[in-house]
Structure 1
Amino acid sequence: MKSILFKVSLLCFLLLLSVTPNVQDFQGKAYYMSKSRMDLGSWGSKMTEAQKKDMFLRLRNRLEKTYILSFNKQESLFDEEEKLDAISGATDSWGKIFAPGRQYKNIKENLLVQSQEFYGKQFLVKDELLPIEWIMGTESKQIGQYMCFKATASIPTAYLTWYSFSWSELENNTTDNKVESGADTSQKPIQITEVEAWYTLQIPVSHGPAEYWGLPGLILEVSAGNTTILCSKIVLNTKEKIQIEAPNKGKEITKNEYKQTITKKMQEMRDNRGRRRY
């Protein structure tokens, strides 16, 4: 039954594509909520429930976010809504350092343009879209008023977190240097993130939140690692034309170059801290 429903829905999708006169005629906005589980590691077991609750409140702006995806048939712009910090009443500037910035995708041109700010310096990351090999299933569920189908993918974690940083990466770099010098011949396993996405053929665009795209309908829900992104509202074909423009300010750089830049800077900061101790 689900297989028949999937085939019928796919046929409807193809018919919709055939009658769409212009890629710019179809437009909309999708509103998403992102929630991440707080990973306290081994020392979390030493914390009381009150301490865990206090930690969650302090990190809430980083664990729970809201975004808007503006899109037409060819382009999309994904941007976070600003929120005040629950404790200080200010915006969370530190949390934004390693968070994704305003993201523009152009499917026709296979182009990603993302604005990133790192310690007061503006970067304009230009690169190809992340290639995702989706495995499309027949499992379905309702999200709001939209019938959605499930797709899964296995993606190297580094491809999804190129704008971020963790101190463990410096240790990995040290290991890499040993390998290059012949001191260590072991190979590090590539970390993989299992991704589950739900898309709807009722909105025939290949866009989605964050790095995710490439399915035959708008992605309304994504679960990857400890984070779930869920669409809460969709507005289609408003009278006023939605402006979708790529960010254009900052030093042009690729994803790999940007990752190398922030890793090098964090290495310098750690080294400077160590020298001050003597």
Structure 2
Amino acid sequence: MKSAIIFSVFFLFHFVNLFAQNFEGTAYYKTDHIVKLDLDSTSTSTNVFDQEIAKAIGNISAERQNQIEELMAQELQKEYILKFNMNESIYKEVAKLNKPKAATGGMNFNFDSSSEVLYHNIKEERFVKESEILDKPFLIIDKLTSRNWALEEKSKMIGEYPCFKAIFSEEINLETFNWESTDTEVITKTHTITVWYTPLIPVKHGPDDYFGLPGLVLEVEDGEKSIVCTKIVLNPEVGVKIEVPTKGKIVSEVEFKEIWRKKDEEMMELYLNKNQIKNKRNSTNIKIGG
């Protein structure tokens, strides 16, 4: 029975492909994050932000920590729109009215990514991305490289669309930072991404940088982040307009990452220097004799 379903879906996929030269549409997505903080300021964490919060808040109860995690998770919930045709797509956050920032323990959490706009051109194998570093706009233009997805036979329904599972795994290096010793250590972990795509929408697009499957990606599970498609509008009468981003200083992806790395190091050094000055001011010197 399962084999018959798979055969029918892929037969329909190839049938649709024959008549989908002008296939286009709009997909809406919602993101969620699982937030688990390590608020022990004496521990070594792979998440520098955990240690920052720990130092700012100090010792708190488990109930209070759960409240902080829930507020941060709510702040990280976003809604995005993906416009696509057979060759192009553009992905950006849905504009919303400003809302109060999640706050607790005297801290405000603001994870703003609304300025980013991501354009993909599958046919030309290139992408263009508008992004910012400390409010300075950049336009990243580079080659589009798809992940080496492993396609599986496992299937499920997402809304009215039959979907198939695909997985990508790789070894990544993470820097562990110890706030007490200010030393860093590199650890290696396996990073696994699971997506669900539907062959009934025969485009190779998906939310963010999850693309390259034989069908539109409707669901993503990437570590603590998940993305789910909530609505799809296919072949609207007014058509789908896709404009290539143009704002910002033009850089390659490697150049942008290097700029980001240097700014991150500068911010870290500034933070450590401020803490050293603060510790010296708070220290008590005792002089005996002389």
What range is the shorter-chain TM-score in?
A: 0.7 to 0.9
Deviations 1:119-148 (A, max 9, x none): 121001112223211111111111111111
Deviations 1:145-175 (A, max 9, x none): 11111111114558xxxxxx98849xxxx87
**CA separation of 1:191/1:268 partners in 2, compared to 1, >3 Å: closer, same or farther?**
same
What is the aligned partner in structure 1 of residue 121 from structure 2?
106
What is the aligned partner in structure 2 of residue 39 from structure 1?
36
Classify the secondary structure of the residue corresponding to 1:95: coil
**CA separation of 1:106/1:155 partners in 2, compared to 1, >3 Å: closer, same or farther?**
farther
**1:117 aligned partner, one-letter code:** E
Question: Highest CA radius of gyration, 1 or 2?
Answer: 2
Deviations 1:201-250 (A, max 9, x none): 11111111111111111111010101111001001111112111121111
Q: Is the 8 A contact 2:79 2:93 kept in 1?
A: yes
In structure 1, stretches of 5+ residues that fail to align are: 159-164, 177-187
Moved more, 74-83 or 211-220: 74-83
What is the aligned partner in structure 2 of residue 26 from structure 1?
23
Question: What aligned pairs does 1:1-278 form with structure 2 within 5 A after superposition?
Answer: 1-20=1-20, 22=21, 25-41=22-38, 43=40, 47-58=61-72, 60-62=74-76, 64-83=77-96, 84-87=98-101, 94-96=110-112, 101-155=116-170, 168=177, 190-276=188-274, 277-278=276-277
Aligned length: 251
Q: Is the 8 A contact 1:141 1:147 kept in 2?
A: yes
TM-score normalized by structure 2? Answer: 0.76
TM-score normalized by structure 1? Answer: 0.79
**2:112 aligned partner, one-letter code:** K
CA distance in 1: counterparts of 2:198 and 2:271, whole angstroms: 50
**CA separation of 1:88/1:48 partners in 2, compared to 1, >3 Å: closer, same or farther?**
closer
CA distance in 2: counterparts of 1:147 and 1:168, whole angstroms: 44
**Quick check: which one's helix share is greater?**
1
Taking every aligned residue pair, what percent have the same amino acid on both sides? Answer: 34
**CA separation of 1:166/1:46 partners in 2, compared to 1, >3 Å: closer, same or farther?**
farther
**CA separation of 1:106/1:234 partners in 2, compared to 1, >3 Å: closer, same or farther?**
same
Q: Is the 8 A contact 2:101 2:110 kept in 1?
A: no
Q: CA RMSD in A?
A: 3.1
**1:53 aligned partner, one-letter code:** Q
Q: Is the 8 A contact 2:36 2:69 kept in 1?
A: no
**Quick check: which one's strand share is greater?**
2
